[in-house]
Chain A
Amino acid sequence: MTLAVAIALTIITAATPLLIAAIGELVVERAGVLNLGVEGMMIMGAATGVGVAIVTESSLLGVLAAIAAGMALSALFALMVLGLAANQYASGLALTIFGLGLSGVVGAPFVGIQREGIRRIELPLLSEIPVIGPILFRQDPFVYASIALVAGVAWFLWRTRAGLILRACGENPVSAHALGYRVLRIRLYAVLFGGACAGLAGAYLSLVLTPFWTAGMTAGRGWIALAIVVFASWLPLRAMLGAYLFGGLIILQLHAQTAGVNIPSQFLAALPYLITIVALTLIMAARRSAGRGSVAPASLGQPFAPAR
């Protein structure tokens, strides 16, 4: 039983950064913008987060700096795709390349400096309940934040007027504009929110999961977060399900490696990527056989310039 609890805990830890990044990107895509730069914003969050935390000796400042870094990069992206109506695919790729490079430069002085990770919050008494106690009431603050984010985004998108307007900008920006909504401004807020989430997810990697900096430590997690959004059909609760599924698979692979399963470790390490492909294929095949068309926001990835 304790092993099962331990595994559940590690799955949550592996899933949380994916979930935080995915939920941010989900809002961005709901507003009609495709930001392929999640990986770049995430790794900048990781580098800035751990750097600031080491310099100021404060994890909280590290987290805030990571969020700011993610937002700064997303503001650059917004300038490109909203301000200049540049190609969203290419701009996102540029953001990823730029972020990977800049994180290496920013993180260089902090290579190999180990620090104590952010601790878990233990709710007294409640965390003593067997099984569910440790899972529900003995987590680090990020896990609670990620759950709150999912709930908040789900409520915002489907229960508020602002959320409806945001989705309208993703479905039909021309109509939203004709109704007098500031499409570009709304998209800007969405992109900044996505950047903040990606930065926060990066901070989780470098401040909790592995509390030190290594170059390229995101290892494709930003891209898996993008895949989760597709897998989740742009629905927040399904994104949570998707993130936990992926987290579970990553942990399964780690356990198989340590248990000495007779498969080369590289094959196990490749599993999350292969499973991403399989999952995307299955979900598209299922949608096709269900006879449903695309569930993506109708204007996803298309630039909108009111004056053109």
Chain B
Amino acid sequence: MRLTMERRAEGGKWALLLSPLLAVVLTLVSSVVIFWLLGQDPLRALSVYFWQPVSDAYGLQEVAVKATPLVLIAVGLALCFRSNNWNIGAEGQFLIGAICGGGVAVWAHGWGGAWVLPLMLVAGALGGMAYALIPAILKARLRVNEILVSLMLVYVADLFMDYLVRGPWRDPMGFNMPQTVSFGPEATLPLLFTGGRMNIGSVIALAVVVAFALVMARTLKGFEIRLVGQAPRAARFAGFSDTRLTITVFAISGALAGLAGVIEASGTVRQLLPGFSPGYGFTAIIVAFLGRLNPVGCLIAGVFIAITFIGGENAQIILRLPRDMTLVFQGMLLFYILACDTLILYRLRVVRPVDPGATPAPGVRS
């Protein structure tokens, strides 16, 4: 007796929307079980994770602050993953973006004018792009594995940030703390409302989502990216070059991750310091998959994951749960999404073997 899979005839768009929702529900159910096993009141824990973060205006602003980098990075990663380019080093591109933009702020501290902020954003995006081009060019030219190169560069970026804030960029008045100066008003993104931290960065992220939704749906480049992922052979016959596409999608996703980094530095943290990122670059991978590798989907998924991010921080304080619990839920969520995708697109069927042994299983006929 064994299991086989058959492609479902029906399905289509609704099934694809159903799968992430089902994955979220399954994650919630599993987390109830885990909370119960840990001796927590499941309902209270669920409310800390998923309800408290959105229960007041300040909390909602915090959700936007956390969702902004996640959405920006995920939109870029979605392009990469769609075209079979596995950029998993967005965390490094995010940090380099923060370093390049933050460098402008540190340099212009005390004398810069209105030009500082635009220059920071451009520097951050270009820095992230340049950093992402390292694995992209190595892959395009020599077929070096982009997963490993982009990931190794995360560690390098992390150490580089550490070096800068402990060495040349350390705030001279900072009592020897490993951090840069607090950015001046000329280098900080304006807030949208008083009494919170939500800033112009969230508006930029929204604009990026709209722009990329249009690009993917309405332009030839968008079609090319979708085609290469779905039917590489057909794409090659159509004359699309996959090496050029690799460079393009890496450059875009690096620029978006870098932009996210400089927005985080300038709008939210307002200085550089070790442990600058709580792992946005890695979490964005999950956001991209939860959002079905689609810009609007990434927006919705980014907001949801941002809620659990804050919920995880709250749970650490209120329920004394380890912070890594959030990672467990995130990993679980990604597993469920991938599993639901298969279960919705295919039907599992138990097949009794006709003749166990050397004869091929009945499924081979297809």
Contact = CB atoms under 8 A, between A and B. Distances in A.
Interface in A194-233: 215, 219-220, 223, 226-227, 230
Contact of B159 (A266, A280, A281): A266
A104 B316 CA distance: 13
A276 B148 contact: yes
Contacts of A89: 86, 147
B278 to A, nearest CB: 13
Instruction: Please classify the interface of chain B as helix (H, G, I), strand (E, B), loop, or mixed, using the class held by over half of its residues.
Output: helix
A101 B321 CA distance: 12
A307 B361 CA distance: 8
Contacts of B319: none
Given A87-B338, A99-B331, A308-B366, A266 B160 contact: yes
A89 B313 CA distance: 29
Given A264-B163, A307-B6, A90 B155 contact: no
Contacts of A94: 286, 331, 334-335, 338
A211 B320 CA distance: 26
Interface residues of B, number: 60
Contacts of B271: none
Contacts of B143: 284, 288, 294
Interface string B338-366: 11011100100001000001111101101
A227 B366 contact: no
Interface stretch (A49-57, A62-70, A77-85, A122-130): A77-85
Contacts of B331: 40, 94-102
A76 B335 contact: yes
Interface centre among A180, A270, A274 (most CB of B within 10 A): A270
Instruction: Please classify the interface of chain A as helix (H, G, I), strand (E, B), loop, or mixed, using the class held by over half of its residues.
Output: helix
B360 A105 contact: no
B333 to A, nearest CB: 8
Nearest to B358: A180
Given A36-B147, A280-B145, A308-B366, A270 B325 contact: no
B335 A307 contact: no
Interface string A106-118: 0010000000000
Nearest to A269: B159
A220 B148 CA distance: 10
A158 interface: no
Nearest to B364: A306
A306 B332 contact: no
B334 A97 contact: yes
Interface in B308-330: 322-330
Contacts, number: 167
Nearest to A184: B2
Contact of A281 (B88, B142, B339, B357): B142
A91 B331 CA distance: 9
B153 A277 contact: yes
B324 A100 contact: yes
B138 A281 contact: yes
Contacts of A108: 322, 324
Interface string B34-49: 0000000000000000
Contact of B359 (A90, A96, A101, A180): A180
B152 A223 contact: yes
B327 A101 contact: yes
Interface string A245-289: 000000000000000000010110110011011001100110010
B328 A102 contact: yes
A186 interface: no
B328 A105 contact: yes
B335 A80 contact: yes
B149 interface: yes
A9 interface: no
Nearest to B335: A94
A29 to B, nearest CB: 12
A179 to B, nearest CB: 8
A280 B3 CA distance: 39
B210 to A, nearest CB: 26
Interface string A161-204: 00000000000000001111000000000000000000000000
6 contacts: A94-B331, A94-B334, A102-B327, A178-B364, A180-B359, A277-B149
Given A93-B285, A280-B138, A305-B5, 18 more contacts: A87-B338, A89-B86, A89-B147, A95-B331, A100-B331, A102-B331, A177-B364, A180-B357, A226-B147, A226-B148, A227-B148, A273-B156, A277-B148, A277-B153, A284-B143, A285-B142, A307-B5, A307-B363
